[in-house]
Amino acid sequence: MDLNPLFEPRTMAVFGVSSGNYRHPANEIFTKNLLRYPVKVYGINPHGGTLNGETIRRSISEIPEAIDLAVIAVRADFVPDVLSECIRAKVRSATIISGGFAETGRQDLQDRIIAIAREASFPFVGPNCLGIYVPSHVDTFFLPSERMVKPAIGNVSFVSQSGGILVDHLIKFAGEGVGLAKAVSIGNKALLGEPELLDYLAHDPATRVIVFYIEGFGRNEGRKFVLKAGQCGKPVIVLKSGKSPGGSRAVSSHTASLAGDYASFSAALSQYGIVEAANELELVSFCESLSIYQKPIEGRVGIVTVSGGHGAMASDACAARGIAVPALTDSVREGLRKVLSPSVREIASLANPIDLTGSGIDDDFVATAETLFAMEEIDCLLALLLPYIPGITADLGAKLSNVAARHSKPLIAYVPHVEKYAMLIEGFELNGAPVSPSIEGAVLMVEALRRNRP
C-alpha cells in the first residue's frame, strides 16, 4: 500500500461536517486545514449547507478533483458505506476518526471495514483515533488549534495508539525543544499498525528517530515489529503500557488490544538494541538525545561542573544505570591543572567529576572539555552548568559545542530552563548539543546513546 497520500496529501475530503454544530469534530478538522494548511480541503455531508463560506458537498462525487486523503468522522455504522464510496471515487487514503468499533465490542463492524479496505488495497489509519499531523502540511486532529501546543519542525516521528498520550508528548516536546517530523494516532490500528508505519518512516527522509507508544499487539504482530525495528537503521524508542494486570485491563477497554507478556517483549527490545523508555521523562530525554546523536557509545562519561553536589548527583545517576565515570590518571590531572586559570588551578577538584568551583570561567570549561574529549577512555561529556556563577557567560554553550564538534564526541548539558538563561541554552541547541533541565534528564540522554544498538 502507498502511504504517501496519508502524510503528503494535496487534497482532502472531510466526511461529517455540519453547518449547524460548530464544534463537531469534523468541523474542527475542516476549518483548521482550510485556514492554516496548504492542503485543499472539501467538506461532505448529505444535507449540504455551508461552513466558513465554503459549500458543503453532498457526496464525494460532487468534488471536482481527485482526493488524496479522506477524513471520516461519521457515526460508526455509516463508516463502511463511506469507505466504499471513497474507494469507488478513487480516493487514495483515509483516516477514520470515528469510534464505536472493536473497543466497544463491535469487532464485526471493524472486520467489515478491514475487509473492504484490503480488497481494494486501500490504506487507512484508525478507527477510534486522531489521525495524522505533519507540521505545516496537514492536521486531522479534531482538537481546536488555539488549544494545541505544537513543537517546532524537527526529525522525530511519533506513532501512538492513544491520541491523548500523543498530544501530551507534543506539549512536552515543545517545552524541551524536541522537533517533530510526523505524528500519527492509530487508535484501534485495524489495518495499519506499528510494523507498517515503521516501514514507511524508516524510509522517510524527514524522520531521524521513530517513537512508538504501544498498548498491545495482535497475534504475531509484536515479533514482526521487533524484528523490523531492530533492522530499520534508525533509532527506535518504545514506551509500553499494559505492564500490570490493571494496565492490561485498561488497554483492552481503550483500543481492544492485547497487552501480552510484557517481560518477554521488554527483553526482546533489549536484545535487538531498541530503546525502551520506562516513563515520560525517559521518553522525552531519549528523543532529544537521539534526534541529535546517532552513533552508539559505550557509556564512559566525563563530568564537568562548578558544584560538587551536582557532580555527586550526576555520578550517582550514572552508577544507577551502569554508566561509567572513569577516574583520571595523575598525568591527565596535572596536564589539566596547568591549563586552568590561576584563580581555579589550586582549588579545583580534578577527580571526575571535575569541580571547577564557583570561581570557574568559560576558559576553564573549554580547557577541561578539550582534555576530556581527547581521552580515549571518555566517549561523552556531561556539562553541568549553573548560569548564576559570575564567571560563566552566555557564550559558553556555543564554545563547548564547538569543542565537541571538533572531537566528534557527544556533549550533553544540564542548565536550569528559565527565560533568564535562554541565550546560554540556545548556544548549545543551535550548535547541535542537547540540554536538559534536570541532572537525571541529562544522564538519561547519555543512557539513550548507550542503549541505541540496533
| pLDDT band, very low/low/confident/very high, at 22 (cuts 50, 70, 90) | confident
Task: At 321, list the grid cell.
Answer: 544505570
pLDDT at 257: 52
Q: 184 pairs with which residues across the strands? A: 132, 159
Cell for 30? 475542516
Please choose, from the candidates 78, 80, 77, the residue with its C-alpha nearest in 3D space to the C-alpha of residue 88: 80
Q: Classify the phi-psi angles of 418: left when phi > 0, otherwise alpha if psi is within -120 to 50, otherwise beta.
A: beta
Interval 179-210: pLDDT, tens: 999 999 999 999 999 999 999 999 999 999 99
Look-up of cell digits 469487532: 107
Give the model's pLDDT for residue 256.
53
Tell me, what's the pLDDT at 230?
A: 93
Summarize pLDDT for 363-401 with one digit per residue, the tens.
999 999 999 999 999 999 999 999 999 999 999 999 999
Give the count of beta carbons closer than 10 Å to the beta carbon of residue 312.
Answer: 15
- Retrieve residue 169's grid coordinates: 508528548
Q: Is 182 exposed, middle or buried (0-12, 13-18, 19+ CB in 10 A)?
A: buried
- Nearest to residue 200, comparing CAs of 10, 2, 67, 453? 2
CB neighbours of 101 closer than 8 A, spacing ≥ 6? 76, 107, 109, 110, 113, 127, 128, 188, 190, 256
Ramachandran area for residue 391 (φ above 0: left; ψ -120 to 50: alpha; else beta): alpha
- Say how many Å lie between the first and final Cα of the chain, rounded: 26
Other CB atoms within a 10 A radius of the CB of residue 152 amount to: 11
In angstroms, the Cα distances linking 162 to 103, 184, 189, 400 are: 12, 10, 11, 39
Q: Are 451 and 238 in contact (CB under 8 A)?
A: no
25: number of Cβ within 10 Å: 21
pLDDT at 417: 87
pLDDT at site 249: 52
Instruction: Give me the amino acid identity at 263.
Output: A
Q: What gap in Å lies between CA 57 and CA 78, rounded to an integer?
A: 17
* Chain mean pLDDT for the chain: 94
Confidence of residue 414 (pLDDT cuts 50, 70, 90): very high
**354: phi then psi, degrees, rounded to nearest 5:** -95, 120
Over residues 65-83, mean pLDDT: 98
DSSP string, 169-206: HHHHHHHHT--EEEEEE-TT-SS--HHHHHHHHHT-TT
pLDDT, tens digit (0-9, with 9 covering 90-100), for 127-158: 999 999 999 999 999 999 889 999 999 999 99
pLDDT higher than threshold 70 for residue 446: yes
Give yes or no for residue 453 having a pLDDT over 90: no
User: CB neighbours of 322 closer than 8 A, spacing ≥ 6?
Assistant: 299
pLDDT average, residue stretch 59-79: 97
pLDDT the model gives residue 258? 52
pLDDT tens digits, 270-304: 999 999 999 999 999 999 999 999 899 999 999 99
State percent of the chain over pLDDT 70: 96
- Sequence-distant (≥ 6) Cβ neighbours of residue 283 within 8 angstroms: 169, 211, 237, 239, 277
Strand order in the sheet with 138-139: 138-139, 131-134, 180-185, 153-160, 209-214, 236-240, 275-277
Q: pLDDT band for position 254 (50/70/90)?
A: very low
Q: Do 302 and 384 form a contact (C-beta atoms < 8 A)?
A: no
- Per-residue pLDDT for 245 more than 80? no
Mean of pLDDT values over 2-21: 95
Domain annotation for the chain: domains and CATH numbers: 1-128 (3.40.50.720), 149-291 (3.40.50.261), 301-451 (3.40.50.261)
pLDDT over 70 at 248, yes or no? no
Per-residue pLDDT band for 23 (boundaries 50, 70, 90) equals confident
